[in-house]
Chains A and B, each alone.
Chain A
Amino acid sequence: NAGVMQNPRHLVRRRGQEARLRCSPVKGHSHVYWYRQLPEEGLKFMVYLQKENIIDESGMPKERFSAEFPKEGPSILRIQQVVRGDSAAYFCASSLDRGGGNQPQHFGDGTRLSIL
């Protein structure tokens, strides 16, 4: 998974706190995707962003969750007022283009969020 960097790798928060997850895509990639994975399940799409724009946030809860991908700096997934159900692994992926047949996504190693 070289290239996509996520930090922190592990994040512990108490209920009601805020969680900020960061993702630096592969150099030169301008398309970023966030996924959530619960134990023993596949990844679930949350949001797709291009530089400074949210393209599709259909998989992201309307409340408490937000994402951004600024012109400079990493993409941020922000979860406000966290609850126990937010505990999961959050993966970021990037691609060079919006998704042609030869443009697979490159994934980071995820941030494991634990809510106490």
Chain B
Amino acid sequence: AQTVTQSQPEMSVQEAETVTLSCTYDTSESDYYLFWYKQPPSRQMILVIRQEAYKQQNATENRFSVNFQKAAKSFSLKISDSQLGDAAMYFCAYRSFRAGSYQLTFGKGTKLSVIP
């Protein structure tokens, strides 16, 4: 079974600075998807970024980028120019590429605070 580990329960960053959230995962599969979801106080789960394991290029969405290290099974999220609206819980998630795979496996989350 796959597992996802977020080793930082809480982090903080100064507004306009850069912060990196860590995520590692364990799998025996070679093809899979990785996601970062953001959950603000409104509780809505918002997709931040997605990475397909077969793609070597790291995904980027505006101020959000990932450092995907497949061999190390690491998938960290970098937030540049942090804004107050980035304060939220962040969840890393894994989903198999295998046909018939229906489950997202989540990490336990990292609570990010942004200091004005």
Q: Do A and B come from one complex?
A: no
Query: B residues within 8 Å of A by Cβ?
Result: none
Binding site for B on A (CB under 8 A): none
